[in-house]
C-alpha cells in the first residue's frame, strides 16, 4: 500500500517533526523537503479541501482522531485522492502533536459484502448502451463496462483496465473536480444529477437510473452511467449518479 507518515507540531507555524521515507513514493517529494519547509504539506492540498486541512492543523481543533478524504497535488502536477488518518496528542508544553498517515485511496482494498451482487451489476452494466462504471466512496473506479473502457482507450488497442483510477487520471482536472463535488453531494432522492461533460453545467434531471443490484449495507458505493456521442470529433455527455 502506498502510504506515508508525518508527525507535526501544531504551533502558529506548522513544524514537521518527521516524515517517512515513503513520502517520496506517495507525493514525489523527498522527506527532507518537508522537514526543511522547502515544501509545505498544506500548500499541496487541493483548494476545495483546504478548509478541512486548516481545521485539522488548527492548534485549537478538538478532534482527537479520525479520517478525512483530501486531494493533494503530486510533484508531477497531477491530483491524487488520499485518505488522511490522524491522531492528536496534547502536549504539556502548550502545543499539540498531530500524527498523520496519508494513504493512496486507489490502493485501499474493500471487500464486497455480496460478490454475487457485484457480478449481477457487472452483467447489467455490460448490457447497457451507455458507458457505465462504479466507484467507491474514495472516488476510485471499482467496475467499468467495456463501453466506458473503450471510450478511454487507444482505438488500436483493446479496452484499458480502469480499475483503481480516479477521474483525475483519464480526465482533465476541471472535469474531475466537477465529478468529485457531484459525488460528494451523494444521491439526491429520486432525481439523478445530470452534468454536461463538455461545458460542466449541472442541472437536475427527473429520470431514474436503471434498477441497480444492492451490494449490502456495508457497500455504499457510487454507481453512474454516462450518455455520450460524437459530434465532429467532440465527445459530449452527461452522468447519472446513484448510491446504494
Count CB-CB contacts under 10 A for residue 196.
14
| 97 Cβ contact list (under 8 Å, min separation 6) | 7, 8, 9, 10, 17, 88, 89, 91
pLDDT digits 0-9 by tens, 108-166: 866 555 667 778 888 888 888 888 888 888 899 988 898 889 888 888 888 888 989 99
pLDDT digits 0-9 by tens, 89-98: 887 677 899 9
Q: Select from 3.40.50.2020, 3.40.50.980, 3.30.450.20, 3.40.50.720 the CATH code of 3-105.
A: 3.30.450.20
**Domain ranges for the chain:** 3-105, 115-243
Q: 165: closest CA among 67, 76, 80?
A: 80
Query: Taking every pair of C-alpha atoms in the chain, what is the biggest distance, in angstroms?
Result: 67
Quickly tell me which residue has 473506479 as its cell.
141
CATH code 1.10.4100 for 115-243: no
CA angle 24, 85, 137 (to 5 degrees): 100
Amino acid at each position: 500500500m502506498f502510504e506515508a507518515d508525518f508527525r507535526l507540531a501544531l504551533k502558529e507555524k506548522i513544524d514537521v517533526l518527521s516524515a517517512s521515507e515513503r513520502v517520496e513514493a506517495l507525493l514525489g517529494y523527498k522527506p527532507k523537503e518537508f522537514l526543511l519547509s522547502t515544501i509545505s504539506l498544506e500548500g499541496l492540498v487541493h483548494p476545495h479541501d483546504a478548509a478541512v486541512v486548516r481545521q485539522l492543523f488548527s492548534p485549537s481543533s478538538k478532534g482527537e482522531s479520525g479520517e478525512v478524504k483530501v486531494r493533494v497535488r503530486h510533484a508531477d502536477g497531477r491530483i491524487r485522492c488520499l485518505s488522511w488518518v490522524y491522531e492528536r496528542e496534547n502536549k504539556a508544553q502548550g502545543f499539540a502533536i498531530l500524527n498523520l498517515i496519508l494513504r493512496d485511496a486507489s490502493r485501499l482494498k474493500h471487500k464486497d459484502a455480496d460478490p454475487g451482487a457485484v457480478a449481477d451489476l457487472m452483467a447489467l452494466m455490460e448490457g447497457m448502451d451507455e458507458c457505465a462504471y462504479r466507484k467507491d466512496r474514495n472516488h476510485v473506479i471499482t467496475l467499468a463496462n467495456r463501453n466506458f473502457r473503450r471510450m478511454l482507450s487507444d482505438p488500436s488497442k483493446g479496452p484499458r483496465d480502469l480499475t483503481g483510477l480516479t477521474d483525475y487520471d483519464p480526465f482533465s482536472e476541471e472535469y474531475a473536480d466537477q465529478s468529485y463535488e457531484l459525488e460528494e453531494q451523494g444521491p439526491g432522492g429520486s432525481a439523478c444529477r445530470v452534468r454536461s461533460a463538455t461545458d460542466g453545467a449541472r442541472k437536475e434531471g427527473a429520470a431514474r437510473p436503471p434498477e441497480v443490484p444492492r451490494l449490502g449495507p456495508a457497500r455504499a458505493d457510487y454507481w453512474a452511467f454516462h450518455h455520450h456521442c460524437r459530434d465532429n470529433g467532440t465527445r459530449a455527455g452527461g452522468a447519472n449518479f446513484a448510491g446504494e
